[in-house]
Amino acid sequence: MQTQHEEVPHPHFMIPLKYTVGTLISLLVLAVTNVIISQFDLGIYNIVIMFGIILVMATLDMLFFMGFRWERGFHIMMFLSGFVFLFIFLSFTLSDIMYRNATDPYKMQPYGIKNLVKPLPAGGEHSERTEHSE
């Protein structure tokens, strides 16, 4: 039987308070920085900078709030493989956004295809009735 003054063993690792408070302050500063940067028009670099800030915020969150800083082995491998796939997916997305107009230098040319679709007149009705045969 335990008395009132005996230490109860804790089965889980408790993250020190200084890490929790420091991480919270860092996340709040980064969130405010993200909002301030969004007020400026930096073109395509707005997305890149904001994703960079969000990546740092997610890293801080996972390292200190989730305790990955003190983990070893399988959990670290899964953590890092998630970021590898995130980088792969974001690189495809950013390459599509950044080079969308550069893929077709002859964008305004009709490609030599005759368009069989005729636009409707201003009234929106067909001018002549045609029957379709099968």
Nearest one of 19, 28, 25, 31 to 67, comparing CA atoms? 19
Structural domain includes residue 122: no
What's the rounded mean pLDDT across residues 100-104? 62
Host domain of residue 73: 17-98
pLDDT band at 102 (very low <50, low <70, confident <90, very high): low
The verdict on residue 114 lying in a domain is no
Instruction: Look at the chain and report how many structural domains it folds into.
Output: 1
1-37 pLDDT, tens digit per residue, is: 555 666 666 567 778 889 889 999 999 999 999 999 9
Confidence of residue 108 (pLDDT cuts 50, 70, 90): very low
In a domain, 110, yes or no: no
Tell me, rounded to whole angstroms, the distance of Cα 88 from its chain centroid. 11
User: Could you tell me if residue 29 is inside a domain?
Assistant: yes
Residue 70: predicted pLDDT: 80
